[in-house]
Amino acid sequence: MGLWDRFKDSAQQMQTQLTAKKNELKSGAFRDASMAMCAMVAAADGSVDPSERQRVAQLIATNEVLQNFPSEDLHRRFEENINRLTTDFALGKVSVMQEIGKAKKKPAEARAVIQIGIVIGGADGYFDDNERTVVKEACYALDILPAEFDL
């Protein structure tokens, strides 16, 4: 099995795990952290192109777990984080990582945030090094070992 096939299987397993925990993932901290994670992954290479915004919009519209929240609210939070990152990436990254860190208190939410980052990172068929790096950094912000997710 090729690397992409393994990654695709892993992303599908993560989505299944997220769906199974849907009822546990309803807090504001999870909502904020998941949208911050999406923004971090989308801006990982220093810019955000329309296809990345579209991937997040599609995730918001179709992900069962994120349907716990109003989609307009999720879009707004995502765009606020994107604006922070595109205005001043270094300063924005500090703020966005603080949002991600909100999920640290509940391990199930923290792991779900990382899973969302991996799912959104691989949505285009390629989980690049920049995306992998910001997901690893998010792991550290959430006190999770990146090896738990094969990062």
Contact indicator for 21, 65 with CB cutoff of 8 Å: yes
Residue 90's pLDDT is what?
92
Helix axes 50-62, 107-121, angle to 10 degrees: 130
pLDDT category, 65, cuts 50, 70, 90? Answer: confident
- Which of the residue ranges 15-19, 25-29, 98-102, 140-144 would you say has the lowest mean pLDDT? 15-19
> What gap in Å lies between CA 119 and CA 133, rounded to an integer?
14
DSSP 106: S
Domain segments of the chain as ranges: 3-17+37-145
> What gap in Å lies between CA 75 and CA 73, rounded to an integer?
5
Contact indicator for 151, 133 with CB cutoff of 8 Å: no
Residue 17's pLDDT is what?
63
Query: Is the pLDDT score of 1 beyond 50?
Result: no
**pTM of structure:** 0.86
DSSP characters over 9-44: HHHHHHHHHHHHTGGG--SHHHHHHHHHHHHHHHTT
Residue 111's pLDDT is what?
93
Q: Could you identify the residue written with the tokens 């099995």?
A: 1
Query: Is the pLDDT score of 55 beyond 60?
Result: yes
Distances (CA, A) of 61 to 64, 67, 70, 121: 8, 7, 10, 17
> What gap in Å lies between CA 23 and CA 114, rounded to an integer?
18
CB atoms within 10 A of CB 56: 24
Query: Is the pLDDT score of 133 beyond 90?
Result: yes
Distances (CA, A) of 115 to 34, 73, 83, 89, 107: 9, 21, 23, 23, 12
> What gap in Å lies between CA 34 and CA 110, rounded to an integer?
9
Residue 4's pLDDT is what?
44
Mean pLDDT for the stretch of residues 102-112: 94
Q: Residues 78-96: pLDDT tens digits?
A: 999 999 999 999 999 999 9
